[in-house]
Amino acid sequence: MAENIKNEDYNPDLISLTDDSGKEYNFEVLDAIETDTGRYLALLPIFDDAKQLLDDSGELVIVKVSEEDGEEYYFEIEDDDEYETIADAFVDRLEDFFEIEEK
């Protein structure tokens, strides 16, 4: 007899980000890291269209979080060394749960 199993505890943290041209993108927050240099999020794009999912590179999107007047703002990490350090930290934390290919 087959049993339906529901994971009622799984409530993903979802955020929407808007690019400079006003296009909105949806992401699931996979992990967060706080360091001496700031707080960072590892995001996985969410697609409404299955074709977009297949065409996606599957790369994590990593952003730096800044808080101002109680509002969170998300920024691209422009410093290459900072990005590499944070990306390596996320890979170490997430590789047990996801198949991650390092470049």
User: Strands 13-18, 24-35: parallel, antiparallel or unpaired by DSSP?
Assistant: antiparallel
Predicted confidence at residue 1, as pLDDT, reads: 43
The tens-digit pLDDT sequence of the chain (103 residues) is: 444 445 455 566 888 888 889 988 889 898 999 999 899 999 988 876 655 555 555 578 899 999 899 898 999 999 999 999 999 999 888 877 665 555 5
Q: Looking at residue 2, what is its pLDDT?
A: 47
Kindly state the tokens that stand for 47. Answer: 């697609």
Write down the domain spans for the chain.
14-94
pTM of the prediction?
A: 0.73
- SS3 state at 51: helix
Among 48, 49, 29, smallest CA distance to 39 is for 29
CA torsion through residues 98, 14, 11, 29, sign: positive
